[in-house]
């Protein structure tokens, strides 16, 4: 990646794509209240001049700001702020758990941890052979003594070597990012509502009357390798998925 140093006068080296300057400018403007709901923003050329980048780069930044729901663009008219100061945040299923809780309140109980052959389903999703080995993990997330999420996770041992119970007790994603130095790039996921199975009922203290919000997902590294196939089931009290959709 090409990087530039902004704020170098402050001796704080911030590495950015230039188009992220645009996104940051808008995010900051919304947070500080400079840009509030419905206001017309500066034009593309003004932004380009102010941030010292080309118009094309501003446009690329606007693409991202728009995809995040910050702004609305009206051809021939201008750019308008769409988000309120109390910014909406996407609850991203990438990390397998909701980020709405402070880390202190959240504990992890490991129900099962083994290395097995993958199920047919898991092998297909992970694009591996049924003779390869995968970690087979079952975890329960507990929020202030209340179990809220049960996770069934499959990861190829070749892709994510060296998993231990200690890692599972903390964050698998931290381990992948900071110990293995791999980058997570994308996920396909599917949200449905399901009834609990026997394990779900046992570990989340549920009955047949209860239900769960299920996310089935395949997660990819930035080299395209699928490294996780997982099924997370959340109790409805703590689940929400928020997003923005834009035409094309």
Residues lying near a copy of itself in the complex (CB under 8 A)? 37-38, 63-64, 69, 72, 74, 77, 80, 82, 88, 92-94, 127, 183-194, 208-209, 211-213, 220, 222-224, 236, 239-248
Nearest of 135, 102, 105 to residue 118 by alpha carbon: 135
Cβ at position 114, least distance to a copy of itself in Å: 29
Nearest of 102, 99, 79 to residue 89 by alpha carbon: 99
Interactions with DNA, residue window 119-178 (CB under 7 A)? none
Pairwise CA distance, residues 78 & 227, whole Å: 43
Fill in the per-residue mask, 66 to 85: x = in contact with DNA (CB under 7 A), - = not in contact. -------xxxxxxx------
Question: Is 244 one of the binding residues for DNA (CB under 7 A)?
Answer: no
Cβ at position 4, least distance to DNA in Å: 6
Which one-letter DSSP state was computed for residue 175?
A: I
Cβ at position 160, least distance to DNA in Å: 17
Q: Tokens 């209860």 identify what position?
A: 210
Cβ at position 34, least distance to a copy of itself in Å: 19
Helix residue ranges, H only, 33-68: 44-51, 55-67
Helix (H, G, I), strand (E, B) or coil at 145: coil
Q: Which is nearer to a copy of itself, 99 or 186 (CB)?
A: 186
Q: Which is nearer to DNA, 158 or 197 (CB)?
A: 158
**Could you tell me if 143 and 162 are in contact, meaning their C-beta atoms sit under 8 angstroms apart?**
no
């Amino acid at each position: 990646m090409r990087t530039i140093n902004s704020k170098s006068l402050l001796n704080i080296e911030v590495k950015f794509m230039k188009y992220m300057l645009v996104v940051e400018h808008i995010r900051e403007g919304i947070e500080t209240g400079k840009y509030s709901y419905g206001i017309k923003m500066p034009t593309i050329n003004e932004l380009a001049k102010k941030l010292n980048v080309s118009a094309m780069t501003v446009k690329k930044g606007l693409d991202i700001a728009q995809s995040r729901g910050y702004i609305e663009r009206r051809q021939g008219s201008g750019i308008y702020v769409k988000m309120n100061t109390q910014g909406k945040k996407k609850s991203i299923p990438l990390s397998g758990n909701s980020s709405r809780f402070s880390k202190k309140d959240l504990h992890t109980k490991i129900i099962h941890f083994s290395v097995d052959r993958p199920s047919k389903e898991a092998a297909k999703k992970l694009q591996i052979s049924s003779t390869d080995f995968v970690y087979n993990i079952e975890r329960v997330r507990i929020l202030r003594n209340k179990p809220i999420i049960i996770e069934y996770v499959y990861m190829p041992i070749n892709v994510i070597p060296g998993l231990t119970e200690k890692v599972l007790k903390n964050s698998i994603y931290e381990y992948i990012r900071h110990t293995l130095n791999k980058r997570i790039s994308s996920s396909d996921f599917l949200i449905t509502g399901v009834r609990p199975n026997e394990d779900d009922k046992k570990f989340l203290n549920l009955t047949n009357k209860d239900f769960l919000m299920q996310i089935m997902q395949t997660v990819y590294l930035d080299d395209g390798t699928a490294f996780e196939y997982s099924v997370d089931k959340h109790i409805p009290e703590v689940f929400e998925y928020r997003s923005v959709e834009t035409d094309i």
